[in-house]
């Protein structure tokens, strides 16, 4: 039997087939930005069809960017999915369109960290933190080889831990959170504010009125744009403070840097984070490894398939 995993993102739906512990097929389609939840669910069913359908598939796992009601299969509050409406069912209608196989919903970052832990750079490691640098900053914790969800299913919100007390305002309203320094949306806002105050930056030249994607940060960094370097240095420092403290507390085997920015810039970020984090750790030569994610866009979909396999 096989399992399908879908990573539902703001720009694309990425799908994989997982069978016998490996990724066997991949497919993707662009996420619709209009047409409501129905258009998005049709798109997901299309990716399932592109992957060969569900004849040999036992269940579908979906990593979704928002609050999830696992029991009812409802996706609530997904601000990065333009066409989604609050509180819309996702699991049951997708199941109906995909040959009536069961659908399991999961948080997209949890799925990504699980994918990297089982099939990616952290396979075989017992104690792992994943920091997902995307539009916001998410996290996942693996303890003794298992995902840790906490007492109320709320574990992993590493983006809202404090790195600078009283510091920059986070999208959640809190002050000095990691996400306010290392989340793509906060970094874009800061670049646009600086540009509006008269500072020239390639970041705004390249992005125009469009979203400042991680590829734009990568190009500006390569060209040595001073503001891009400054923003990235702040992000690196904030992540280093976070992982330095967490590693001192948790004694980890590996810290994985993933998410959209992590995939695009991981090779640049990971050694710099490693360098700074080590200087902040209680045991500076601690054996923990800080590594970029290696499955790229497939991590979230692979993890979603594995979660479905665990449930069915």
Among 67-75, 153-161, 239-247, 253-261, the segment contacting Zn ion (CB under 5 A):
153-161
Query: Which of the stretches 54-62, 66-74, 87-95, 171-179 binds Zn ion when contact is defined by CB under 5 A?
Result: 171-179
**Candidate ranges 59-67, 99-107, 162-170, 256-264; the one touching Zn ion (CB under 5 A):** 162-170
Choice between 39 and 175, CB closer to Zn ion:
175
**CB-count exposure of residue 173 (10 Å: 0-12, 13-18, 19+):** exposed
Rounded Cα–Cα distance for residues 60 and 77 (Å):
22
Q: Name the token pair of 309.
A: 């396999």
CB neighbours of residue 98 within 10 Å: 23
Q: Is 125 in the site for Zn ion (CB under 5 A)?
A: no
Q: Give the burial class of 118: count Cβ atoms within 10 A of its Cβ; 0-12 exposed, 13-18 middle, 19 or more buried.
A: buried
CB-based closest residue to Zn ion = 170
Confirm or reject binding of residue 170 to Zn ion (CB under 5 A).
yes
Q: Is there binding between residue 172 and Zn ion (CB under 5 A)? A: yes
Residue 110's contacts (CB-CB under 8 Å, 6 or more residues apart) are 63, 140, 147, 149, 156, 303, 307
Tell whether residue 177 is a contact of Zn ion (CB under 5 A): yes
Q: Which of 53, 79, 174, 296 binds Zn ion (CB under 5 A)?
A: 174
- In the complex, minimum distance from the CB of residue 240 to Zn ion, in angstroms, rounded to a whole number: 18
Q: Of the listed pieces 54-62, 73-81, 175-183, 243-251, which binds Zn ion according to CB under 5 A?
A: 175-183
**Distances from the Cα of 178 to the Cα of 160, 241, 250, 261, angstroms:** 6, 9, 18, 14
CB of 235 to Zn ion, least distance (A): 15
Q: How far apart are CA 310 and CA 154, in angstroms?
A: 20
The footprint of Zn ion (CB under 5 A) covers: 160, 170, 172, 174, 177
């Amino acid at each position: 039997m096989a399992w399908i995993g879908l990573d539902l993102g703001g720009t694309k739906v990425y799908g994989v087939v997982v069978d016998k512990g490996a990724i066997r097929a991949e497919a993707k389609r662009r996420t619709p930005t209009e047409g409501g939840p129905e258009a998005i669910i049709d798109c997901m069913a299309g990716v399932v069809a592109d992957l060969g359908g569900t004849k040999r598939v036992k269940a579908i796992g979906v990593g979704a960017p928002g609050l999830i009601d696992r029991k009812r299969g409802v996706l609530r509050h997904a601000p990065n999915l333009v066409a989604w409406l609050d509180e819309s069912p996702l699991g049951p209608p997708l199941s109906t369109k995909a040959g009536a196989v069961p659908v399991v919903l999961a948080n997209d970052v949890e799925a990504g960290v699980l994918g990297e832990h089982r099939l990616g750079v952290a396979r075989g490691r017992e104690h792992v933190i994943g920091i997902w640098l995307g539009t916001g900053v998410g996290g996942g914790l693996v303890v003794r080889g298992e995902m840790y969800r906490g007492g109320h299913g709320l574990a992993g919100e590493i983006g809202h831990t404090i790195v600078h007390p009283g510091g920059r305002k986070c999208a959640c309203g809190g002050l000095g959170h990691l996400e306010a320094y290392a989340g793509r949306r906060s970094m874009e806002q800061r670049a646009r504010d600086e540009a509006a105050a008269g500072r020239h930056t390639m970041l705004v030249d390249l992005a125009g009125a469009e979203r400042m994607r991680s590829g734009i940060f990568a190009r500006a960094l390569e060209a040595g744009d001073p503001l891009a370097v400054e923003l990235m240095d702040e992000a690196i420092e904030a992540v280093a403070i976070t992982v330095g403290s967490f590693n001192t507390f948790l004694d980890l085997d590996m810290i994985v840097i993933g998410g959209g920015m992590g995939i695009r810039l991981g090779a640049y970020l990971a050694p710099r984070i490693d360098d700074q984090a080590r200087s902040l750790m209680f045991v500076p030569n601690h054996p923990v490894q800080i590594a970029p994610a290696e499955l790229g866009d497939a991590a979230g979909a692979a993890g979603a398939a594995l979660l479905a396999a665990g449930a069915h």
